[in-house]
Chains A and B, each alone.
Chain A
Amino acid sequence: MSNGARIRRKGLAATAGLAILGLTAACSSGDATSDSSADAGSGSGEDVVLEFAQWWEPELPDGMLRGLMDQFEEENPGITVELLSGPYASTKEQVVAGAASGTMSDVVGLDGAWVSDFVNQGAIADLSALMTDAGYDESQLAAQVQLNGATYEIPVVNFAYMLFTNDAILADAGVDVPSTRSEFVDAAEAVTTDDVSGWILPLSLEAPNGVQNDVMSWVWASGGSMLADGQPDLTNEAVTSATEYIKELNDAGVIAPGAATLKEQDKVEEFTNGRVAMMISSLAHINTIRESNADLEFTISAVPAEDGYSGERGTPYASWGIGVAENSEHKAEAWKLIDFLMSESANAELADAANAFPGNSTAVPEFVNNDEIFQEAFDVWQAGYPANEFVGLPVAEQLMREYGEQLQRVLAGEIEVSEALENAQAAWMDEF
């Protein structure tokens, strides 16, 4: 045999060896998976490992969520919780991919905007049934996200969106914190200079949640709605009035420049740096503002309502929601984890760490009593009602984007408000 042939044989043998090794490894890992599944089975007395995918852990103080999980594990021997944590965007991609492939984690952190799509996919479980099976008292829940009469998501903590005003800038201009739309436009005009804008409106199409938090909040604050019988109703008087009001603010030159590409973080930065006098933002940003600019004094109040409106004001909110995967083999154990997180003490502890309002109606976080600003915010929250009509809508983010695109056309002077709302209404109807 020649050297060439010998080398070829050795090469082939090596390749074949690698292939066999790979196959063996694959088979071994397959066995390992099966074993692990068997171990994790919810059968009698065997340990259950719950996967809990969420974006909360990175946003909480180090070790806080793990500490709660340790407490849960102590109270529920035989159940172990494995936290799968990541930023919001990557968690969303992970959950969407899991929903598509049927490999969603047992317990998942949910945004209300995703719920409808996951329900249509059959990816998340009916929590009403789980609550009934567990004999759970629903009255302690502040809110539930329901579709077709069944609960699919429970808001664990809520981040309310309110009006933040820069005390120094308003005082220099001699204006008070506005509570009506006309007061707001007057205040915005009074404070606007070459270096300071009265208000900031983030309308980036990459993250179009500005439509929910900064635009529709004007509608909800006056008791209005963008829906009628669960269907889009963007051409109604409330939405038209709010959209025209935003155009009025734009025409008055009080909106910070660059609105079409600004994101939520830009909004907070501009307010923190004192370049914007007023913004509608989440209470979750209070600590961020304080850390970035400790000298900044600001006030929190309800989003201004239409002149003459005296009814209850809707307060926009975003939630850290929770749900159970339909593909989970441990739904009962998953519900136990939700039950624990929604319990009065654990929920208050979590809300306290997140600077959010609790999802348990009886829980009161400590920060409400210790911090004047949060006390004010809590009072506003209690005086109004939580309002976020995007929760539970199909392709909610796309709906925001479609409305945002039309609003951008209005602000660019390309079309009138009525035409924009008709276009948005037609686009929304297509999505529904």
Chain B
Amino acid sequence: MITYLWLIPALPLFSSVILGLFGPVMGPRVSGAVGTISVGLAAVLAVSIGLHWISHPPTNSIYEQTLWAWITLPGFSINLGLYLDPVSLLMVLVITVIGCLIHLFSTEYMHGEDGYSRYFAYLNLFVAAMLLLVLADDLAVLFVGWEGVGVCSYLLVGFWFSEPTNGYAARKSFVVTRIADIAMLAGLLLLSTKLGTLNIQAMLTGAVATWSAGSLMPTVATSLLLIGGLGKSAQVPLQTWLPDAMAGPTPVSALIHAATMVTAGVYLVVRTHALFLLAPHVLDAIAVGAVITLLVAAFAGLVQSDIKRVLAYSTMSQIGYMFLALGVGAWPAAMFHFLTHAVFKALLFLTAGAIAMRLNHEQNIFAMGGLRSKLPLAFWAFLIGSASLAALPIISAGFFSKEMILGAVAAAPMPGLILWACGILGAVLTATYIFRVVFTVFLGPLKTEVSGSYGVRIAVPLVTLSVGALVVGWLETPEGLGNQTIFSRFLTPAVGVFHHLPVSFMIPLLGFAAPLLGIGIAYVLHRNGTWARATTTMPSKLTIFIRSGCGFDMLYDELFVVPYMTLVRVLRHDPVDSMFAGLQYLAIVAHRRLRAMQIGQIRRYASWMMAGSVATIAILLFS
């Protein structure tokens, strides 16, 4: 079974090519079926490999499959190979299973849209690229997948291309991540020059053998890789593209900008964690940056009125938690939060899409209200998702993963407690902003007309993901709640043993209390009408500042966009060309002057000859 590993990325890639070439003649029904079934088959294959893996793990829990030699040169070669270990297996499972559900959802959601087959071609291509990213055994191959998902994201964010703002959002998302990718590329060049290989395992072994912890080289290399990861994962200071990326169709946001692509940065760090352990300062910086991101995003989430933008900021903030875990070296905690987040955030986005479908594509939460009884399926799904995002104790998956992270952070030696406190503050804010949405959308009087109904292709993904959002948390539970360690034991061969370190009893207690407090705040402010009032009154300067994501966009406009555009405008007509045109002008002027001298007057010629002779003699005499 495992020998068919290559089929997992190949299936969606193949169907993407088929859809790209023949999509327009296949019609929507067939296109949707081809797109969904290919990912479905990949999911089935992945699940069966996973099941087999659990019963009979391969030696060292690593399975490698070399496909072909990509580049072989003296002193530099890259093999195109797949590398399956527990971390990549987990990623593959999440990508294919959630990807399949989202494809299924899309077949109904995108019904009747222009470019239906194009949509599935892009979405399949995305899945293929993402799978290549997580399965690659070489950083250069990983980079192929890395840029591949970026392009698919660009194409899908700008899917409705006749709207110029969508195009702008798409370009912004690509360019911001591209800037980060160039840093990553520089990191690859550095690693490959210094260590002679980009094969991840060989490179890590080489790095550990040649570099000492804290020395300059690993610090520079990991910083460069990290910038790449921050861009892809929408972390401060490269986060500005994510809220705008919500211009794409909602299932795209669910798949790319919530469940999979944006967590590529987390994956990259986990994949190369041996290298990052050589750069403790970079790890510290990751933790601090993560806290900043999670707070900035949580505050921004508090004042958005577009449901998708709330979710976008919450994604940013939750990935901040994952990076926080990475910063303290709690790799399994980051991966666990990745798993639960993928489930509940996909659920939230899909539900948001399902709601908008029935409300004539309304996304403003304040235009909604009282949808609880009208849309029971969406209500329950969104509630479960929100509970999980808010980390509601015991019943939600998000609780267990966030608990694992905060426990690890609190036990960390660095100013762990300060980071932990920020994490708790973030948890309160998270619960507040998401239940602000829940209360506004589902309680109160009905404000909009509700049309249509949900088919089975909407219901199945929502129900499946809801169940997932309730149960996946039990894979890893803290002491006192069963002390289950399936998840961390599964990952142990790849990232080492994870210890739930003992912390003061206050830590889990506050972890319990924070979401409840947040929900309470949200409810109180909902009851006294503060949330609704905020939309009618003039927002304060502070609110505007926070709503715009703390002014990063404005700053970057001033720092980069305006100078760039000025430069382009100055250069547009090619000043170098004008210089050469100057030569031409000079020739013309000289021509005119010389012609003017040739007027046929012997007198004039004679005087010129005289002057010339005198000058020559003078030069001869005095030189």
A and B: real partners?
A: no
A residues contacting B by CB (< 8 A) are none
